[in-house]
Every structure is written in structure tokens, then in C-alpha cells.
């Protein structure tokens, strides 16, 4: 309990589970054009993994791994990537026109620019929500609340 956060049981469980949650979120986003899901749901699942780590290990411990500015940069980069996918459509016709081949139906690489857009939204939403949670956590640290309950 020296670094805040919860008990050893919670920490071990979070250690075991958070990797699987992260992989599941990325999977949901990458196969968004084949199965239910998409960039938004995947991003929220990624943010849930970050929230799990922050809650179980405490905000002070996590400030070494995952900082607010890094999340903000990733958030902005995701938004820019989505916009870039949209603007690159001008190469073949117009805004948001798919500039990649359609590929085979039900294959992972198909649907034109859809996997790229899903990836951009995954980064954007995941980093945005995780950054918002980190900002709340840092605000709580800064405003002098008791850490580690």
C-alpha cells in the first residue's frame, strides 16, 4: 500500500486482465467493418483498460506510465489521422471518398478506408477518455484529496 491503489489481489487481477482488455479493444476496432463494433467501442474498451490500471494502482504510480499530455497528443493525432483519411479522398474524387481498393468481402483488408478510419477513431477515443480520466485523477491529487482509499 506504499504507492496508493488497492490491495495486492486487485493489482494482480488488473495486471492479468488489462492486457486482454487492451487486445480485445484493438480487435473490436480492427474488425469493425466485419463484425459488430468499431472504432468508438474499441476506443472506450481501451480507455477502460487504462481506467482499470489507474484505479487499481493509484494515480501517482500511473503518472510514470501514462501521462495526461501524452494522452492529449495521441488524442489530437487520432483526430488528425481521421481528418487526413477524409482529405486524402480528394486524390480520387472528393471528401471522404475511399481511395483504397475494396478488397474481398469478409476479409480483414477490405472496405477501402474503413479500417484506417476505425484505427484513427480507436486512438482518438481511447486516448481522449483515458486522458480525461487521468485529468480527473490528477485534479484530485492536486486539490489535496486523500489518495489511496
Partner 1 sequence: MTIELFVVAFIVFMLIAALIAVEARDLLSSVIAVGAAGFGLSVIDLLVGAPDLALTQVVVEVISLVLLIRVVLTRNDTSATEPQDALRTGVALLAGGIILVIVFFAVGGLSQQGGVPPFGQPVLSNTPQAAVPPGVSADYLARSADQTGAANAVTAVLLDFRAYDTLGEATIIFVSILGTYAVLRRLGRRGREARA
**Contact residues for partner 1 (CB under 8 A)?**
28, 32-38, 40-41, 44-45, 47-48, 51, 55, 68, 72, 75-76, 79, 82-83, 86, 95-96, 98, 101-106, 110-114, 117-118, 121, 124-125, 128-129, 131-133, 135-136, 138-140, 142-145, 149
* Contact assessment for residue 103 and residue 110, using Cβ atoms and an 8 Å cutoff: yes
- Decide: helix, strand or coil at residue 96: coil
Q: How far is the CB of 13 from partner 1 (least distance, A)?
A: 15
CA separation, residue 85 to residues 73, 89, 117, 132, 142 (Å): 18, 7, 7, 25, 39
CB nearer partner 1, residue 1 or residue 142:
142
Q: Which is nearer to partner 1, 2 or 101 (CB)?
A: 101
CB of 22 to partner 1, least distance (A): 13
Least distance (Å) between residue 129 CB and partner 1: 6
Residues of 92-104 as b/e, b for ≥16 C-beta within 10 angstroms? eeeeeebebeeee
- Return the number of the residue (64 or 69) whose C-beta is nearest partner 1: 69
95 close to 5: Cβ distance less than 8 angstroms: no
Shortest approach of partner 1 to residue 43 CB, angstroms? 9
Query: In angstroms, what is the minimal distance from the CB of 137 to partner 1?
Result: 9
Amino acid at each position: 500500500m506504499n504507492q496508493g491503489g488497492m490491495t495486492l489481489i486487485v493489482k494482480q487481477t488488473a495486471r492479468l486482465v488489462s492486457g486482454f482488455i487492451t487486445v480485445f479493444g484493438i480487435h473490436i476496432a480492427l474488425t469493425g467493418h466485419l463484425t459488430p463494433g468499431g472504432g468508438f467501442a474499441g476506443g472506450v474498451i481501451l480507455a477502460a483498460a487504462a481506467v482499470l490500471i489507474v484505479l487499481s494502482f493509484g494515480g501517482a504510480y500511473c503518472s510514470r506510465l501514462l501521462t495526461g499530455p501524452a494522452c492529449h497528443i495521441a488524442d489530437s493525432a487520432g483526430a488528425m489521422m481521421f481528418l487526413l483519411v477524409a482529405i486524402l479522398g480528394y486524390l480520387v474524387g472528393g471528401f471522404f471518398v475511399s481511395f483504397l481498393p475494396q478488397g474481398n468481402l469478409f476479409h480483414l483488408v477490405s472496405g477501402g478506408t474503413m479500417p484506417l478510419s476505425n484505427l484513427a477513431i480507436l486512438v482518438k477515443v481511447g486516448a481522449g477518455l483515458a486522458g480525461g480520466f487521468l485529468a480527473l485523477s490528477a485534479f484530485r491529487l492536486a486539490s489535496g484529496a486523500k489518495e489511496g482509499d
